[in-house]
Amino acid sequence: MKIASVTVDRYRSDAKAAAPGYGGEILIVTVSTDDGPSGMGFATASSASAPILTALIETIIQPVIAGEDAMLTERLWWRMHEAIPRRGGEGLMRLATAAVDFALWDIKGKAAGVPVAALFGGRREKIPTYANCAHHLPADKLAERAAKDVANGHKALKIRGTRSFVTPAEATERVRQVRAAIGPGIRLMVDVNGSWDVDTAVQQLKAWEPYDVYWLEEPVPPHDIAGYRRVRERSGGTYIVGGEQHVGLGEFERLIGMEAVDIVQPNAAITGGITDWLRIHAFATANGIPVSPWNLQAVHLHMAAGLPNVQWIEYFMPDNALLAFQTQLFTGPALREEVTPDGVFLLPPDAPGLGLEIDPAIAEATRVRN
């Protein structure tokens, strides 16, 4: 199956549908083959970066993969990554590469008639989740929402304490009230999006000792791997996790090799696609580090279903503003829950490929027309 074309369609949410920092556009990438199925991938972007990503895909990536065998994802990934010399494959180019890489894996699954998860060689019948409860609400309202998630069967959930939204003192109040609302025995994670320094993180962890925080996510900026290690050395019973802003095997080799994290969180869109994500998973697995991918549940669901070392899927409920536009635009893959005494699980995908489908009416209403 030779690649015949690579096209991009842009869809823009209204201003209310996208949370700050999560992009107001979704780019749908279609890779067509000459005698086989087409594949769908996607990327999220701001309205400022969406035209740049589109140009990268259509004018830089398409020429270097046109006519190539769509099944050779490793070869094609390196062709995309090296299309712009002198490290031009970094930055936004990784997002563009990821969108095309998703479409190529979608083709591989469709050609085999199986979900992409099956291509990894394993099958997990129930996929563990933790609830993303990172709503920007006053502490008492956030506690009410967290208690509702627990009442619905969740045994683990994550809130946010990012400095751009709340002070460290307010973050502690969120932790205090949420723990009081959900009670003991529920795993409580806190994400600060790399917005603290080492001293703040250490002092906060001391303040949180009465509240049994399971993990602190991205305590310091992604470039400060030495800072990660210093926080982890002083973190007591709280795990230190990170990696959602890191890219490529080299950066994860440093995170893991410097013993800076307990769990890594590679994101397939940010690091450059499923192909690159698999390298990180393999390295983490070889070093005994669990993987808990951040966001992107439509794609990461396949990794969690088909690979042994994926600890959790971060589960965004339909009313979560962080993924509001994705929830509107995408109708597949279907997320099927199973609630058990051990928590809320997702069932493995069963549609061929990635199972991505978009709502025709939403697509027509939100399409960006040049």
Nearest 5°: CA angle at 54, between 52 and 60? 90
**What's the confidence (pLDDT) of residue 16?**
53
Contacts of 140 (CB under 8 A, 6+ apart): 177
Between CA 275 and CA 67 the distance in angstroms is: 20
Between CA 348 and CA 333 the distance in angstroms is: 10
- The encoded tokens of residue 271 equal 């690091």
Residue 15 has pLDDT above 60, yes or no: no
Instruction: Give the residue ranges of DSSP H helices in the chain.
Output: 50-55, 62-65, 73-81, 92-112, 116-119, 139-151, 168-182, 198-207, 225-233, 248-257, 268-271, 274-286, 297-306, 324-329, 360-366
Q: What confidence tens digit (pLDDT) does each residue in 99-144 have?
A: 999 999 999 999 999 999 999 999 999 999 999 998 889 999 999 9
Residue 23 has pLDDT above 80, yes or no: no
**What's the confidence (pLDDT) of residue 318?**
81
> What residue ranges define each of the domains in the chain, with the CATH number in brackets?
3-114+357-366 (3.30.390.10), 119-346 (3.20.20.120)
Average the pLDDT over 344-352 and give the result. Answer: 97
Least confident of 18-22, 262-266, 318-322: 18-22
Q: What confidence tens digit (pLDDT) does each residue in 217-255 have?
A: 999 999 999 999 999 999 999 999 999 999 999 999 999
Q: What percent of the chain has pLDDT over 90?
A: 92
**What's the confidence (pLDDT) of residue 19?**
52
- Mean pLDDT across the chain, nearest whole number? 95
Between CA 263 and CA 293 the distance in angstroms is: 10
**What's the confidence (pLDDT) of residue 103?**
98
Average the pLDDT over 28-37 and give the result. Answer: 97
**What's the confidence (pLDDT) of residue 257?**
97
DSSP per position, 239-290: EEEE-TT--HHHHHHHHHHTT--SEE---HHHHTSHHHHHHHHHHHHHTT--
In the block, tokens 């925080």 appear at: 213
Q: What percent of the chain has pLDDT over 70?
A: 98
User: Under a CB-based contact definition with an 8 Å cutoff, are residues 287 and 256 in contact?
Assistant: yes
pTM of the predicted model as reported, rounded to 2 decimal places: 0.96
Q: pLDDT band for position 24 (50/70/90)?
A: confident
**What's the confidence (pLDDT) of residue 17?**
46
Q: What confidence tens digit (pLDDT) does each residue in 51-83 have?
A: 999 999 999 999 999 999 999 999 999 999 999
**What's the confidence (pLDDT) of residue 362?**
95
Q: What confidence tens digit (pLDDT) does each residue in 166-208 have?
A: 999 999 999 999 999 999 999 999 999 999 999 999 999 999 9
Contacts of 51 (CB under 8 A, 6+ apart): none
Between CA 105 and CA 107 the distance in angstroms is: 5
